[in-house]
C-alpha cells in the first residue's frame, strides 16, 4: 500500500513538473485548452496542464530577416541581385499565432516577393541612386501585408546590389566621363572669371603707365628671387619699360655724382 501511494505521489509530482511553463520577460504565452484559446499570459511561472492544454510562447523582441533576389530583371531588363535586411517584431501575439500558420516563414516569403516586385518596377539608375526610396517602398509593402498577421515592420535596409561585371565597366566609364565633363565645365568657368579680371587689370594699366611699369618690375623681382638658375624671357614691352626707367634713374643720380666729384680730396 505504501509503495502504491509512493508511485502515485511520484506520478503527480512529475505531472505537475511537466505542467509548469516559464515565460521570459520578452515573451508572451497563449494557452489553448483542447484547441481553444483560453488565456494569454505574461512573464513568470505558468501552469499548462499537460495532455489537456498547450502553451504557445511568442518572442516579442525585434527580429532580423535577411532576404535577396538572385538575377531579377529590372524595368530596363538588367539582371540585378539585391540583398536587404528587414527589422520586425510581433505586435499582436494572438494574430501571430492564429492568423498565420508560421509567421516567420511567411515574413520571409513576403520579403522576397516585395523585393522582386520593387526591382521589376524600377530602372537600374533608380536602383543605384534611390536606396532610401527602395527601403521605404519595400517596408511599406511588407508592412501592409504583415499587419494582419500581428507583425510590425520597423524598417528595411538594402545591404548590397550586384550587377553583371560587363555592365559595371560600362557604368564606371560613364561615371568617369561625367566627372571629366564636370571638371572641364568648372575649368571653363574659371577661365571666364580670369579673363574678366585680366580685362579689368588691362583697363587700369591702360589708364596708368606707372601702374603698368610697377607691375612689370614686380614680376621681374619675383623671378629674380628664385634660388635656381632661371632663364628669363622678357617681353618687348617690359624691356622698353626698363629702358624708359633707366634715364630717369640716371637723371636722379646725376646731382649726387657731381657733388661727390666737386668735393676736395
**Which pLDDT tens digit goes with each residue over 164-193?**
776 666 666 776 777 778 888 888 888 888
What pLDDT score was predicted for residue 77? 81
Instruction: Name the phi and psi angles at 74, rounded to 5.
Output: -80, 180
Grid coordinates representing 53 are 492544454
What own/partner pairs with CB < 8 Å and gap ≥ 24 does 102-108 have?
Answer: 103/149, 103/150, 103/151, 104/63, 104/65, 106/149, 107/65, 107/142, 107/146, 107/149, 107/151, 108/65, 108/67
Q: For the chain, how far is it from start to end, CA to CA, in angstroms?
A: 155
Alpha-carbon distance of 245 to 141, in angstroms, equals: 84
Alpha-carbon distance of 257 to 217, in angstroms, equals: 25
What pLDDT score was predicted for residue 236? 57
Q: How many CA atoms lie within 13 A of 197 on its CB side?
A: 6
* Percent of all residues in the chain with a pLDDT value above 70, rounded to a whole number: 75
Domains of the chain, residue spans: 15-59, 63-163, 165-198, 208-243
Q: How many CA atoms lie within 13 A of 157 on its CB side?
A: 7
Q: Is 20 left (phi over 0), alpha (psi -120 to 50) or beta?
A: beta
pLDDT one-digit tens code per residue, 95-142: 998 988 889 999 999 998 898 888 888 888 778 777 788 888 889 999
Q: Which of 98-102, 124-128, 152-156, 253-257 has the lowest mean pLDDT?
A: 253-257
- pTM of the shown model: 0.60
Q: How far is residue 220 CA from its own chain's centroid? A: 52
What pLDDT score was predicted for residue 248? 47
Q: Is 45 left (phi over 0), alpha (psi -120 to 50) or beta?
A: beta
pLDDT greater than 90 at residue 220: no
pLDDT greater than 50 at residue 237: yes
CATH topology of domain 63-163: Tetrahydropterin Synthase; Chain A (3.30.479)
CA angle 177, 179, 185 (to 5 degrees): 105
From the list 71, 5, 59, 1, the residue with the least C-alpha distance to 29 is: 59
Amino acid at each position: 500500500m505504501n509503495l502504491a501511494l509512493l508511485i502515485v505521489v511520484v506520478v503527480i509530482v512529475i505531472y505537475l513538473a511537466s505542467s509548469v511553463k516559464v515565460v521570459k520577460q520578452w515573451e508572451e504565452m497563449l494557452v489553448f485548452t483542447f484547441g481553444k484559446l483560453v488565456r494569454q499570459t505574461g512573464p513568470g511561472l505558468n501552469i499548462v496542464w499537460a495532455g489537456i492544454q498547450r502553451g504557445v510562447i511568442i518572442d516579442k523582441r525585434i527580429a532580423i530577416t535577411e532576404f535577396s533576389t538572385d538575377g531579377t530583371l529590372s524595368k530596363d531588363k538588367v539582371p540585378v541581385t539585391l540583398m536587404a535586411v528587414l527589422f520586425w517584431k510581433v505586435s499582436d501575439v494572438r494574430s501571430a499565432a492564429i492568423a498565420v500558420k508560421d509567421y516567420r516563414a511567411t515574413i520571409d516569403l513576403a520579403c522576397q516577393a516585395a523585393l522582386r516586385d520593387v526591382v521589376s518596377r524600377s530602372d537600374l539608375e533608380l536602383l543605384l541612386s534611390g536606396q532610401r526610396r527602395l527601403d521605404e517602398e519595400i517596408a511599406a509593402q511588407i508592412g501592409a501585408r504583415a499587419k494582419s498577421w500581428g507583425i510590425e515592420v520597423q524598417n528595411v535596409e538594402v545591404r548590397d546590389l550586384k550587377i553583371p561585371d560587363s555592365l559595371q565597366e560600362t557604368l564606371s566609364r560613364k561615371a568617369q566621363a561625367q566627372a571629366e565633363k564636370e571638371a572641364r565645365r568648372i575649368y571653363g568657368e574659371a577661365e571666364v572669371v580670369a579673363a574678366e579680371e585680366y580685362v579689368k587689370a588691362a583697363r587700369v594699366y591702360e589708364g596708368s603707365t606707372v601702374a603698368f611699369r610697377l607691375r612689370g618690375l614686380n614680376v621681374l623681382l619675383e623671378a629674380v628671387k628664385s634660388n635656381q638658375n632661371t632663364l628669363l624671357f622678357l617681353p618687348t614691352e617690359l624691356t622698353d619699360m626698363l629702358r624708359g626707367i633707366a634715364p630717369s634713374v640716371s637723371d636722379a643720380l646725376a646731382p649726387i655724382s657731381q657733388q661727390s666729384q666737386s668735393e676736395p680730396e
